[in-house]
């Protein structure tokens, strides 16, 4: 009985403590943006002491203002000029293009990143794993492939940020009637947390 209560307590406290720790670490990290502000705009100057979370507000404000500027004519001209300058720097150009492609794919409304959850045979025939459809191979690659293929990302357990990018025949992909979030929960929990909805194969 004591063991049962102890394990139940752990199951309740561990997620709560880890969530608080992650949020606290994130706030601390974002609060460092205050260092970029002029002295007279910092909380220590205005209020006489530091204000936890002030850096988060500054970061959100800067992102919002950047978005407004980037969506008007002059903002787009400035961004194009900036990207032209970056593309002239050999090493920086490679890093910037890679990061931009990833962020455009994940954040753009028109992107196909993780559009649906599927099952594929991997790593061997008869063994199945979850994967996420990320799009279709580029024409330069597609001409070397026979038939229709799709790009899929296979996440690893328990860290879904690492995994494998595969090109799989479309007829070998099994579409599922469950959300991407539910599959991520399943992967992170190492299969312990099953999808809330009944697993349906389309």
> pLDDT tens digits for 137-182?
888 888 888 889 999 999 988 888 788 999 999 999 999 888 888 8
What's the pTM value of the predicted model, to 2 decimals? 0.56
Q: Which backbone phi and psi does 151 adopt, to 5 degrees? A: -85, 130
Cβ–Cβ under 8 Å, residues 154 and 163:
yes
Domain count, the chain: 2
In this structure, are 35 and 95 located in the same domain?
yes
> pLDDT tens digits for 60-70?
888 898 888 88
Q: Is residue 202 part of a domain?
A: no
Judged by DSSP in three states, 110 sits in coil
Q: Is residue 154 part of a domain?
A: yes
Q: Is residue 65 part of a domain?
A: yes
Give the pLDDT confidence score for residue 9 in this predicted structure: 85
> pLDDT tens digits for 114-131?
778 899 999 988 899 999
Does 103 or 8 have the greater pLDDT score? 8
In this structure, are 6 and 100 located in the same domain?
yes
In this structure, are 45 and 123 located in the same domain?
no
In this structure, are 56 and 16 located in the same domain?
yes
Q: Is residue 139 part of a domain?
A: yes
Cβ–Cβ under 8 Å, residues 153 and 114:
yes
Domain that holds residue 126: 116-188
């Amino acid at each position: 009985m004591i063991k049962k209560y102890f394990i139940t307590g752990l199951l309740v406290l561990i997620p709560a403590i880890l969530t608080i720790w992650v949020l606290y670490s994130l706030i601390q990290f974002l609060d460092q943006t205050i260092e970029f502000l002029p002295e007279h705009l910092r909380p220590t100057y205005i209020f006489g002491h530091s204000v936890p979370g002030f850096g988060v507000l500054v970061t959100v404000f800067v992102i919002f203002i950047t978005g407004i500027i980037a969506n008007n004519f002059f903002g787009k001209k400035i961004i194009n000029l900036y990207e032209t300058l970056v593309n002239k720097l050999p090493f920086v150009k490679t890093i910037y293009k890679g990061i931009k492609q990833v962020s455009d794919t994940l954040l753009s409304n028109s992107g196909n990143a993780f559009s649906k959850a599927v099952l594929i045979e991997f790593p061997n025939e008869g063994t199945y794993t979850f994967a996420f459809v990320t799009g279709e191979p580029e024409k330069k690659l597609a001409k070397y492939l026979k038939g229709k293929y799709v790009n899929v990302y296979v996440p690893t357990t328990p860290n879904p940020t690492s995994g494998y990018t595969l090109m799989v025949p479309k007829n070998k992909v099994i579409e599922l009637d469950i959300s991407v979030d539910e599959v991520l929960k399943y992967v992170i929990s190492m299969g312990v947390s099953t999808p809330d909805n009944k697993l349906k194969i389309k």
